[in-house]
Amino acid sequence: MGENTTIFIAGDSTAAIKVPEKRPETGWGEVFQAYLLENVRLDNRAINGKSTKSFIKEGHLEAIAKSIKPGDYLFIQFGHNDQKLDDPDRGTQPYEDYQENLLKYVQVARSVNANPLLLTSVTRRNFVGNKIDENSVGDYPKAMIEFAEQNNVPVLDIHKKSREFLNGVGEEKSKEYFLHLPPGQSKNYPEGIMDNTHFNERGAVAVAQLIAIAIRESNLPIKDLLNSR
């Protein structure tokens, strides 16, 4: 197992590859290869700003369908942009078209005997008191777990894992994992930035590590594709 296996990522900006003009912003999908065996290929198709709806509408799922093969994996992580209900091209209702869209991703994988793997949305850094708001990505994580149970699809609760991690780090220190920069520190953000959704490299590595840990704990066959990091 693993020889010529490809892991595809369908997702949004939290996982996506960043352009130089956005650094130090980093997607977790950019650093996940470090946790895989050398003969496992990572094909990160995550795109900034996409929801389950817009990713399909713009043909990105169809492109994966043309590339994915038996034995491959399809990681599916959306939610942040599905929240944008004021945008008809992206917004979805968590227990309605969000779940209907998830089924389309699962069907693409299953249609070629590839393996779908759902990942609940990584949390936003929204502290209420000394704890992360469990609803920072709305009902989408809960809706994904419900969908997974109803359709017998493996799911990793990365929303919960990332919340627990940040709660442990604490409100102030958790800024060190996100795109938080004072004015004048980065030529890409001369005015500074306080972004509680997107990660810097340290945050991306932390999330990738949480996903690797969740895979090992799940005891799914994909654990055999991970290295010993």
- 191 given a catalytic annotation: yes
List the catalytic residue out of 80, 159, 180, 198.
198
Q: How confident is the model at residue 229 (pLDDT cuts 50, 70, 90)?
A: confident
List the catalytic residue out of 134, 191, 218, 228.
191
- 51 given a catalytic annotation: no
Burial class (CB in 10 A: 0-12, 13-18, 19+), 186: middle
Name the CA dihedral angle for 43, 48, 50, 52, rounded to a multiple of 10 degrees: 40
Q: Could you confirm whether domain 6-225 is CATH 3.30.470.10?
A: no
List the catalytic residue out of 13, 54, 121, 162.
13
Tens-digit pLDDT profile for residues 159-192: 999 999 999 999 999 999 999 999 999 999 999 9
Both tokens of 169, joined, read 């780090």
**Measuring CA to CA, how many Å separate 79 from each of 6, 13, 50, 124, 143?**
24, 11, 9, 11, 10
